[in-house]
Structure 1
Amino acid sequence: MIYRFTIVALLVTFLGFSQNYNVAMEVFKSDLELTSYSKDSTANALVIYDYGNSFVDDKTFWLRVQNEQKIKILRTEGIDRGQFEVKLYKGKTSKEKIENIKGTTYNLENGEIRKTHLTKTAIFEEENENYTLVRFVLPNVKVGSVITVSYETQSRFMAKYQPWYFQGEDPVLYSEYNTSIPANYEYHIKRVGAIPFDTHDISLKKQCLVLGNGASADCSISKYIMKNIPAYKPEDYTTTSLNYTSRIEYEMSVIKTFDGRTDKITKTWEDADHELKTDSDFGRQISKKSLVKDILPDSILAISDQLKKAKALYNYVLNNYKWNGKSERYDVSIKTITKDKVGSAFEINLLLENLLSNEGIKVFPILMSTRNNGLATKVYPVLSDFNYVILKTIIDNKSYYLDATDPYLSFGELPFKALNQYGRLIDFEEGSYWEDININNFSGRIHRVELSSFKDDQFQGTIKSIFQGYHSHTPKRQFDENPSDYLEKKINDYTDIIIEDHDVLDTDTSNFNETLNISIQPEFIGNKIYFNPFIIKFFDKNPFQLQERTYPIDFGYKDIYNYSMKISLNEDLKVIELPKPVNYALPNKSGSLLFNIELLNDEIVLYFKVKFNQPIYPPEYYPYLKSFMDKVVELQNNTIIALEKQ
């Protein structure tokens, strides 16, 4: 299908456009005089009007898509919005076309509106085997310009009706999409994004298509309107934008020809299960004793306890087979990986499935779409959505998710890329179903600092650190690959302390434990010491900076950050001032911040804990999380203990 180069985006409710933009294609002086958009001061451009109309021509029976846009250029970075690109698909017997390309740039010069029109010499075409790329560049575009563009695409390829993106990199005042779909074609309509329609009207037009022999078809007419749409701006703690950019997509399910034939295009899950079961790259690689015959050592075969055996099988695969970095579901061969000892994610995890099932352990493959690949479609089966596979094993009525591609994962852990809400559990006996991927365990970072002495104007002490769960994977890998580089990086990161010695205690479990012997040279002003006790910071700055965020905050897993410090004063120091405690919570007990510091028996005892009780927060939590993280960063950066030498 055609991929429109539309610069569209998003904002909130429509209570009237606050800045007097003319929401239509006509350009007025008031459009040119405005220099900013009050609801998004960072916007490089503003889509004032975005209009689409898709219908099947009653003479040619081609799909025609009419596009119109009006865009205001607000900043230098938005000047490239005057460059457009349309991709036209080429099939074996037909190719898509573009007609009636028109474009105009409007500028205000000496109080008068000046128009510069797009010329044919500014329209370029590039050809390759699969498509024609049409580019056109509007003239004289600069900051303050308003540009208008319109064109029509035509296509015989009806398999995917023209999608429509309401949201993009710039805010949009008004976006309207009209569709007319003949009853011959039935589509699954997939809506993505959480922003509601301002208008969604549906009606029926009788005999919109009429053939010469008297046959005809009615059309379903739809109008979708969104107003004041905020821009989609990427930020930390999210998956791919494909999961959340507001749009409508179409997938053909049924074609009804005028001679009475009905062709079913989209499969049911029952159809998909049958296809997977007979697939040489999947179903024929599952639960086959012959594929893994005589490869296990007797020491594993002799284990009677199912959980211990499952862990032994998991470690056997981890220790003897290496992932080649590939995850695609094709050319999968368990025989090949048992011979070569190297294979794809599908081969490694389906090898483990065979080993578990052949030892009588209940196990199911789960087809996944990774975080960067987008959420798999739930409305109808799209097997191409899945680019990964994990396993679910059930032992003593307890479920464990398994992935044997990464030696730094523990039994029951999944790679972070697989934490994408849900997957399709494949059960060829009872039928497949959607499985929510819930990670109930907290991951954590714990730092326990003890400053036991103060001599020669320096603190001496230790830092004991524990990295748990997902926080342990990176330090384990970095330390194992190059211990000296790992220590060098830590020395460079911890600029406020001097590392005297470093000892790693354990890297074999799901934790990574290390101890640092340190010294600190505090800041003196006269005889007084002003000292920030957070010599290790969890967050250098607030990761949440947007004015508004329309998509979830996705950490992937539940999280705890824990920091404590003991400072022995002995007879060397006395306290002048200690900061006040802080206790703060997110709504519905979904997270908490606790900070406390007190003097106990000639020791300053500090405790600091940040806890996120949910792996994913809906977008309405964003202002609360933003304020929450402001407090976290403020405490870490600006907490001061005032001491005095005795």
Structure 2
Amino acid sequence: MKNLLLILICLIFLNNSFSQQKRSTKIGNVSIQELNMNRYEKDTTANAVVLYEHANYYLDESRDYKKTTDYYFKVKIFKKEGTNKATIQIPFYGDEKVHSIKGITYNVSKSNTILKNQLIDKQVYTKDLYGDWKEVTFTLPNIKEGSVIEYTYSVTSPYSKIDDWYFQSDIPKIKSDFTAAILGNWKYNIRLVGFLELNRSDVSVKKGCVYVPGLGDGACLILDYGIDHIPAFKEEDYMLSKENFISKLCFDLESFQNPRGGVDKYTKTWKDADKSLKYDFLDNQTSKKNFFKNNLPPALLLINDDLEKAKKVYYYIQDYFTWNEKYWPSKKVRIKDAFENKTGNVFDINLSLYNSLKAANIESYLVLTSTRNKAVPTRLHPIIDDFNYLLVKANINNKAYFLDATNKQLPFGLVQHESLNGDGRTMDFASGSYWESIKLLKKSFRSIKAQLSFDEDNKLGGNLMISSDGFYAVNDRENLNSTDIESYIENFESEHPNIEVENLEHQNLDEKENTLHQIYEITTDHINFDTKLRINPFLIDRYTQNPFKLNQRDYPVDYGFPRNYTYMLSLKLPEGYTVSSLPENKALSLPNKGGRFIVNFKNLNNVISVYSRMNLNKRVYSSEEYYYLKEFYNQIIKAQDVFIEIEKASN
């Protein structure tokens, strides 16, 4: 992430005389060469390409000096899959206005002339979304493979926020520009997010942009940013929100010098943010210790051992509340009401946990985070809207435990995976907040152990035990508790069509701090043979597709937590049969101790043993490590795409 911190000139009066509007791109710029273009050489797989796009921000004198952004887009469509680019959706908020909509579809005739179809007003619709949000939508007419679409529209706003400008999208772009004239009494922090470099980065002061009666001419800051030949942003597994990586300009309002000479600050220090969070948003909901002391079972507060007491309090709150699956509340938190209703959002529940731990005299702190579908909160300055999740940190016997009581299957010391989005902001209201890595004390693993043999009819069967802990156990417990056992078995058999489950038992289903064991009695309906048999020894959880397919990935691989998988198989051959071929043993390692994969095959007294283990030791792998991780999976797929060959022994 790059920070383009712009300190703007402070003025007093707003009256625009500089015609920034003339810089807006007008419609009507399509050539026959663009219509005859049949692919984009820098990305021949693209369904469409943006030929040019431009946003121009300025103060619109004709609209009572409100802030207006004029947008221009020109897009070439190559394939049928790219025709969805002709449907445009423009969300807007409150008193914002979307206007000056124009659109043209261009096609080429048999005589190589340009045909035009104009967008008409009745093809433009406005609909309500939610709250004060609405959306204007339209579809350009007569779209075909080979069409070029061109459209413009403007958004006029009374608000101070400047919308982010996305240089990158899901299709490539040949050229993208953002220009602006920002009045000097508005001060913004401007950030360039992503991995692309600017081709144009011109910043200047324009005198005469503002005329101040009685004082003379003022000035504006003139911005001109642009990037050429922009690749499509391609999402892939194990990534945080694309908002962290997609190339865009972000504008954070810092301050405004009003006509009276005072300065209104919008960007706060963390000291100000801490105070605002405690008194404005949380509204003293952090000081309800006495309420919970009176409402918790008295026996919990009499436990002498702090760790045991903290666990009892945690599990009581976890069992008491039902999470309504909401995150950052739309109104102030009222945990007494939530306690009475036994339901609440993330903040209701974990604030109740925080106060309960305080009532039990456990040193505790609130930790602000955001979910993985949101951008990682910026460290440059506090932006409260970056956060939408709340955890609790308890310090017990010189050890920090991060807690989350929202999910009923979470053991003490584990938080929801979706809340692992960078570091958390620990709210120490006495000494000041600080950034802190969220450490997980519970290891996550999945282990499979199968003991199989052939019966008198040479049918294969036996026991299969799946053991899981950490996040894997949370997922398994959620699935087991959300359905009946018959449906659970049916789902398992549908995922593994060659296995039939005769019986299923489980151990430690309710003991969340212990390893969960699922013990299956199984038969296989396809492994019958007379003289020869080829069998893949990896009955379940075999890798058949690589999750990493990009030639280059500029953003990191973020698993959220280290993990390991173990697979063990004991296969007893029937009397009179022998092994004719075993696969090769393999061992693979990732650089920087990032992980390891091993697989060993043995035959001892006609019992085939398979042992395989994969460790991924890091939560995050850098983009530089991507190639090695991708190849790591390629080799695992090859190592598991093997067969044990068995045949009847010759007399």
Same fold (TM over 0.5): yes
> Taking structure 1 as reference, are residues 150 and 300 closer, same or farther at Cα in structure 2, changes over 3 Å only?
closer
Give the Cα separation in 2 of the matches to 1:88 and 1:213: 37
> Aligned-pair distance for 1:641?
0.6
Write the letter of the residue equivalent to 2:470.
Answer: G
Give the Cα separation in 2 of the matches to 1:461 and 1:617: 39
Tell whether 2:226 aligns with 1:218: no
Please name the residue that 1:21 is paired with: none
Give the Cα separation in 2 of the matches to 1:499 and 1:87: 51
Q: Is 1:291–1:334's contact at 8 Å kept on the other side of the alignment?
A: no
Q: Is 1:104–1:115's contact at 8 Å kept on the other side of the alignment?
A: no
Tell whether 2:85 aligns with 1:50: no
> Taking structure 1 as reference, are residues 191 and 436 closer, same or farther at Cα in structure 2, changes over 3 Å only?
farther
Q: Is 2:189–2:251's contact at 8 Å kept on the other side of the alignment?
A: yes
Please name the residue that 2:23 is paired with: none
CA deviations 1:88-140 (Å, max 9, x no partner) are 5553xxx54633x4443332323513130525446635377957755454333
CA deviations 1:528-563 (Å, max 9, x no partner) are 111110111244433334455444332221121211
Q: Is 1:337–1:343's contact at 8 Å kept on the other side of the alignment?
A: yes
Please name the residue that 2:149 is paired with: 147
Write the letter of the residue equivalent to 2:286.
Answer: I
Farther off after superposition, 583-592 or 159-168: 583-592
TM-score by length of 2: 0.86
Write the letter of the residue equivalent to 2:77.
Answer: I
Please name the residue that 1:19 is paired with: none
Please name the residue that 2:5 is paired with: none
> Taking structure 1 as reference, are residues 269 and 605 closer, same or farther at Cα in structure 2, changes over 3 Å only?
same
Tell whether 2:507 aligns with 1:476: no
Please name the residue that 1:325 is paired with: 325
Please name the residue that 1:634 is paired with: 638
Tell whether 2:35 aligns with 1:32: yes
Match of 1:587 among 571, 591, 595: 591
> Aligned-pair distance for 1:214?
2.6
Match of 1:614 among 613, 618, 630: 618
Give the Cα separation in 1 of the matches to 2:559 and 2:216: 56
> Aligned-pair distance for 1:356?
1.3
Please name the residue that 2:3 is paired with: none
Please name the residue that 2:491 is paired with: 489
Report the 3-state secondary structure (helix = DSSP H, G, I; strand = E; otherwise coil) of the residue aligned with 1:278. Answer: helix
Q: Is 2:318–2:405's contact at 8 Å kept on the other side of the alignment?
A: yes
| Matched ranges for 1:323-362 at <5 A | 323-329=323-329, 330-362=331-363
Farther off after superposition, 113-122 or 524-533: 113-122
Give the Cα separation in 2 of the matches to 1:595 and 1:200: 53
Please name the residue that 2:22 is paired with: none
Q: Is 1:503–1:514's contact at 8 Å kept on the other side of the alignment?
A: yes
Give the Cα separation in 2 of the matches to 1:492 and 1:130: 45
> Aligned-pair distance for 1:430?
0.6
Q: Is 2:401–2:441's contact at 8 Å kept on the other side of the alignment?
A: no
Please name the residue that 2:112 is paired with: 112
Please name the residue that 1:513 is paired with: 517
Please name the residue that 2:384 is paired with: 383
Give the Cα separation in 2 of the matches to 1:491 and 1:390: 37
Q: Is 1:124–1:136's contact at 8 Å kept on the other side of the alignment?
A: yes
Report the 3-state secondary structure (helix = DSSP H, G, I; strand = E; otherwise coil) of the residue aligned with 1:466. Answer: strand
Write the letter of the residue equivalent to 2:644.
Answer: I
Please name the residue that 2:204 is paired with: 203
Please name the residue that 1:267 is paired with: 268
> Taking structure 1 as reference, are residues 587 and 219 closer, same or farther at Cα in structure 2, changes over 3 Å only?
farther
> Aligned-pair distance for 1:436?
2.5
Q: Is 2:283–2:332's contact at 8 Å kept on the other side of the alignment?
A: no
Q: Is 1:457–1:521's contact at 8 Å kept on the other side of the alignment?
A: no
Please name the residue that 1:532 is paired with: 536
Please name the residue that 1:277 is paired with: 278
Give the Cα separation in 2 of the matches to 1:25 and 1:618: 44
> Aligned-pair distance for 1:336?
3.0
> Aligned-pair distance for 1:466?
0.5
Give the Cα separation in 2 of the matches to 1:216 and 1:317: 63
Q: Is 2:166–2:248's contact at 8 Å kept on the other side of the alignment?
A: yes
Structure 1: unaligned runs, 5 residues or longer: 1-23
> Aligned-pair distance for 1:33?
2.9
Q: Is 2:503–2:520's contact at 8 Å kept on the other side of the alignment?
A: yes
Q: Is 2:98–2:136's contact at 8 Å kept on the other side of the alignment?
A: no
> Taking structure 1 as reference, are residues 148 and 336 closer, same or farther at Cα in structure 2, changes over 3 Å only?
closer
Please name the residue that 2:465 is paired with: 464
> Taking structure 1 as reference, are residues 562 and 304 closer, same or farther at Cα in structure 2, changes over 3 Å only?
same
Please name the residue that 1:12 is paired with: none
Write the letter of the residue equivalent to 1:631.
Answer: Q
Give the Cα separation in 2 of the matches to 1:131 and 1:363: 38
> Aligned-pair distance for 1:50?
1.7
Q: Is 2:394–2:403's contact at 8 Å kept on the other side of the alignment?
A: yes
Please name the residue that 1:255 is paired with: 256
Please name the residue that 1:6 is paired with: none
Please name the residue that 1:560 is paired with: 564
> Aligned-pair distance for 1:642?
0.6
Q: Is 2:531–2:647's contact at 8 Å kept on the other side of the alignment?
A: yes
Please name the residue that 1:233 is paired with: 234
Report the 3-state secondary structure (helix = DSSP H, G, I; strand = E; otherwise coil) of the residue aligned with 2:385. Answer: helix
Give the Cα separation in 2 of the matches to 1:634 and 1:611: 17
CA deviations 1:134-155 (Å, max 9, x no partner) are 5454333210122233344444
Please name the residue that 1:400 is paired with: 401
Please name the residue that 2:297 is paired with: 297
Please name the residue that 1:500 is paired with: 502
Q: Is 1:190–1:379's contact at 8 Å kept on the other side of the alignment?
A: no
Write the letter of the residue equivalent to 1:44.
Answer: N
Report the 3-state secondary structure (helix = DSSP H, G, I; strand = E; otherwise coil) of the residue aligned with 2:209. Answer: strand
Report the 3-state secondary structure (helix = DSSP H, G, I; strand = E; otherwise coil) of the residue aligned with 1:477. Answer: helix
Report the 3-state secondary structure (helix = DSSP H, G, I; strand = E; otherwise coil) of the residue aligned with 1:462. Answer: strand
Give the Cα separation in 2 of the matches to 1:522 and 1:573: 18
Please name the residue that 2:415 is paired with: 414
Farther off after superposition, 355-364 or 476-485: 476-485
Farther off after superposition, 611-620 or 57-66: 57-66
Report the 3-state secondary structure (helix = DSSP H, G, I; strand = E; otherwise coil) of the residue aligned with 1:174. Answer: strand
Write the letter of the residue equivalent to 2:319.
Answer: N
> Aligned-pair distance for 1:164?
0.8
> Aligned-pair distance for 1:72?
0.9
Report the 3-state secondary structure (helix = DSSP H, G, I; strand = E; otherwise coil) of the residue aligned with 2:268. Answer: coil
> Taking structure 1 as reference, are residues 153 and 465 closer, same or farther at Cα in structure 2, changes over 3 Å only?
closer
Q: Is 1:58–1:208's contact at 8 Å kept on the other side of the alignment?
A: no
Give the Cα separation in 2 of the matches to 1:105 and 1:320: 59
> Aligned-pair distance for 1:449?
1.5
Q: Is 2:453–2:460's contact at 8 Å kept on the other side of the alignment?
A: yes
> Taking structure 1 as reference, are residues 445 and 28 closer, same or farther at Cα in structure 2, changes over 3 Å only?
same
Q: Is 2:108–2:115's contact at 8 Å kept on the other side of the alignment?
A: no
Give the Cα separation in 2 of the matches to 1:555 and 1:476: 21
> Aligned-pair distance for 1:469?
0.8
> Aligned-pair distance for 1:576?
0.8
> Aligned-pair distance for 1:308?
1.4
Report the 3-state secondary structure (helix = DSSP H, G, I; strand = E; otherwise coil) of the residue aligned with 2:81. Answer: helix
Report the 3-state secondary structure (helix = DSSP H, G, I; strand = E; otherwise coil) of the residue aligned with 1:50. Answer: strand
Write the letter of the residue equivalent to 1:534.
Answer: F
Write the letter of the residue equivalent to 1:607.
Answer: Y
> Taking structure 1 as reference, are residues 499 and 152 closer, same or farther at Cα in structure 2, changes over 3 Å only?
closer
Please name the residue that 1:165 is paired with: 166
CA deviations 1:52-101 (Å, max 9, x no partner) are 2223357864434333322110111222322334455553xxx54633x4
- Alignment RMSD (CA, Å): 2.9
> Aligned-pair distance for 1:643?
1.0
Structure 2: unaligned runs, 5 residues or longer: 1-26
Report the 3-state secondary structure (helix = DSSP H, G, I; strand = E; otherwise coil) of the residue aligned with 1:294. Answer: helix
> Aligned-pair distance for 1:514?
1.6
Report the 3-state secondary structure (helix = DSSP H, G, I; strand = E; otherwise coil) of the residue aligned with 1:169. Answer: coil
Give the Cα separation in 1 of the matches to 2:137 and 2:314: 53
Write the letter of the residue equivalent to 1:33.
Answer: N
> Taking structure 1 as reference, are residues 598 and 88 closer, same or farther at Cα in structure 2, changes over 3 Å only?
closer
